[in-house]
Structure formats: C-alpha cells, structure tokens
Amino acid sequence: MDLILIAAVAFAAWAFFKSEAQGNGSSQQLATAQPSGAAVSDYNPLDDLAVAWAHAEGWDKSGSLAQRNLNPVNLKGSWPGQVGTSPQGFAVFSDEGYGFDAADSYLQKQVNEHPDWTLRQLFAKILGNLNGQPVNNEQGNSDQEAETVATYLGIPPDTTLSNYVGS
C-alpha cells in the first residue's frame, strides 16, 4: 500500500511540474534544463529535441516500434551501433544509446543544413518532403508531429532550429 501511495505522489508531482513547464498555452519560450551532473560544456539542446521527437514516435509506449528496434525516433539508413534493419526499413540498434546518438547526429545535420527551418519544416522533411513543405501521408502529419514536439519542449512549433539549438 505504501508503494502505491509513493507512486501516486510521484506521478502527481510529475504531472504538476510538467503542466507548469508547459505554461498556460502562451507562446513563451522556456529554457531547457541542463541534465543534473552534466557539465555546462556537455549539455546539448539537441538531446532535448531528440527526446521530444522520441516521445512523438511513441518511445515511451511499451512495445512500440521505436522500443522494439531500440530506435527512439524510427530512423532509417545506416548508423553506428546498428545491428540490423526491420522489415519496415527502420534501423535496429544494439542499445538505445546508439539510437539516441543517431537521432542527435541526424538533428545536427539538419541544423547545419537548414538553420532557418522551423520545427514544422524539419518534420515535413522527416516525413518525406525534402523542401520542408507540409506533409500528410501514411507516415504521418508533419504539422501534428511538430506541434507534439514543440509542446513537449514548451516552445512554439514555428521556432527555428538555430533559435532553439543556438549558433
């Protein structure tokens, strides 16, 4: 019984702080929190962006495609730490660390190539439109994915990559 009470209190605290971080629907940008124990020089906002993207891909849902492949953002292609490819063409990693490293690498490449793109344009490219135009296809809806990620991060979906990540 005590364990259930502790879990309930922990969940309530998490829900409260998450709702406070997201604000009251305003477009106020929130600073990203540096992970505890990380040196300032070790922190990279791409890590938060990768976690938010993983959330949008279902990483936090037990048994999801992302979890089964240890590929938090469902990347395709060839990546360090990859041990195979799923029947759907997604990279399968030996552990989630390699999956998040690949996500960070992919995001860094996009920031370098398209610093003035918004999250909406980034997710349009991820879903198949190389010019960043909105996409709504069998893989998903780019505007919905961008809004899910932006909400998770507490920023507007029209935030540019360079404004979020920095120079």
* Dist. CA 123–CA 160, nearest whole Å: 12
Q: Which CATH architecture has domain 46-165?
A: Orthogonal Bundle (1.10)
Q: Name the residue ranges covered by the structural domains of the chain.
A: 46-165
* Residue 101 backbone dihedrals phi, psi, to 5 degrees: -60, -40
Rounded to 5 degrees, what are φ and ψ at 31?
-70, 145
Lookup result for tokens 């690498």 = 105
Beta carbons within 10 angstroms of residue 23's beta carbon: 12
Q: How would DSSP label each residue in 87-119?
A: TTSBEEESSHHHHHHHHHHHHHHHHHH-TT-BH
Model pLDDT for residues 92-138, shown as the tens digit of each residue:
999 999 999 999 999 999 999 999 999 999 999 998 887 778 877 77
Average pLDDT over residues 131-154: 87
**pLDDT category of residue 44 using cuts at 50, 70 and 90:** confident
Render pLDDT for 65-79 as a digit per residue (tens, 0 to 9): 999 999 999 999 999
Tell me what the pLDDT averaged over the chain comes to: 80
Residue 156 has pLDDT above 90, yes or no: yes
Q: Quick one: pLDDT band at residue 47, thresholds 50, 70, 90?
A: very high
- pLDDT at site 133: 82
